[in-house]
Chains A and B, each alone.
Chain A
Amino acid sequence: MFDFSIILQEWPTYLQGLGNTVWLVAVSLILGLSIAIPLGICRNSTNPLLRLPAWAYIYFFRGTPMLVQLFIIYYGAGQWDGLRNSWAWEWFQEAWFCALLSFTLNTAAYTAEIVRGAIRTIPKGEIEAAQAFGMTPWQTMVTGLGLYHFFLAPRCWCNSSSSTTGLVSGMACATPGPGSGFRRPGSAPCSLSP
């Protein structure tokens, strides 16, 4: 019934898969964070031209399943002739690129909410004090706002990253071809080729 010997024999394959998982999670978290910080700042902006697009982005990526986002990027990209004829098509054909892109965009939305929350906890007085010292808005942001308050945030950030790890495996079944060899029972094999 429970015969794990085949897994023990084939452990290098598993290790390789684990390497992919870890790599995807790490890179998408880092890229996501670098998008999330400006996004979180835009979300807090008083200018509606900055605030509303950021709101819409976060709302969309947090309100829809990640599997669907992945499918939109991976399968949906083929629908755009402009994209198919451009240099980017080579990238969009690769499963790993689509996975990385969707994970990055998804985690950016969640992290941006955290960044936004972290910014909101900053006492107004500190920002005013920074301005009173003659700091430019950029200086205020980097020194007053960024440094120690942002380091309060990683605790929440950990929570969001663990859910990303789980969904990396979701890519396995969205990946046709010899790489995973996984087919849904009773469904047509995933076809991407035009």
Chain B
Amino acid sequence: MTLQVSLLSVVLAMVLGMIGAVSKLSRYRMAKRLATLYTTVVRGIPDLILMMLLFFGGQVFVNFLCTQINEHLNEWVLQGNAQHEWTAYVPEYVDISPFIAGVLTIGFIFGAYMTETFRGAILAVDRGQLEAAAAYGMTPWQVFRRVLFPQMVRHALPGFGNNWLVLLKTTALVSVIGLDDMVRKAGLAAGTTQLPFTFYMAVALIFLVFTAFSTTLLKWAERHYSIQTR
């Protein structure tokens, strides 16, 4: 469960991070401002608070929105057809599962950190090369895929690795919103067996194995992507 949450949220974070980085560097002022707002706000709020805000507050907000939409739609239909009976056009009650809330929040939070990482990586690529690629008549997508991406990966990897390690450890927080992850399982086991130290220590050691494994993998990736550089 812990791994599922972290892998899914890292994918979401990468997508958000890429969008954020591109919009932060774009010519459009609006996109720039939105991305800056996003990174500033998210990086300034504790992860746990955001998670609870989305899980508890988001639930209320979504249900409020659904009720409002239903009301408006019904009123609108009623104006055209007096015999219309009240129907729920969107579900009246939506239940956000802790899993989805966890993935969304962690992805959302780390999207902001990834934005900064990717922005730095894009800036590190020589501008002239991008211009040269454009001059060869490549489409923006081709420029990205052939020139920008292979080079930015190299600069993004160390920052990305740090983010991933922090993210992995942040997933321990999803136990707070009731997801059956490792930490919560350990908590339940500790409650019944009265051996809290043993169980939490085991969780800590498993996390340690994950982080050690990730570090090895990231080192390998860094070496792989820095081949043929001076």
Q: Say whether A associates with B.
A: yes
Interface residues of A, dominant DSSP = helix
Would A68 and B48 count as touching, CB distance under 8 A? no
Would B48 and A60 count as touching, CB distance under 8 A? no
- Contact partner, B188, options A65, A78, A188, Cβ 8 Å: A188
Please measure, in the bound complex, the distance between the C-alpha atom of A193 and the C-alpha atom of B228, giving whole angstroms: 61
Would B191 and A188 count as touching, CB distance under 8 A? yes
When A63-B211, A72-B197, A77-B197 are in contact, do A184 and B190 touch as well, CB less than 8 Å?
no
Please measure, in the bound complex, the distance between the C-alpha atom of A59 and the C-alpha atom of B197, giving whole angstroms: 19
Q: Does B38 contact A (CB under 8 A)?
A: no
When A68-B183, A71-B183 are in contact, do A60 and B47 touch as well, CB less than 8 Å?
no
Would A173 and B204 count as touching, CB distance under 8 A? no
- Contact partner, A78, options B196, B201, B212, Cβ 8 Å: B196
- Contact partner, B200, options A72, A167, A169, Cβ 8 Å: A72
Name the distance in Å between A68's Cβ and chain B's nearest Cβ: 5
**How many residues belonging to B are interface residues under a CB distance threshold of 8 Å?**
37
Q: Contact string, A38-73, partner B, CB cutoff 8 A, digits 1/0? A: 000000000000000000000110011111110110
- Contact partner, B46, options A65, A71, A169, A186, Cβ 8 Å: A169
Would B201 and A76 count as touching, CB distance under 8 A? yes
When A75-B190, A79-B196, A80-B197 are in contact, do A170 and B48 touch as well, CB less than 8 Å?
yes
Would A173 and B48 count as touching, CB distance under 8 A? yes
User: Taking beta carbons and an 8 Å cutoff, which residues of A are in contact with B?
Assistant: 1, 59-60, 63-69, 71-72, 75-80, 163, 165-170, 173, 184-188, 191
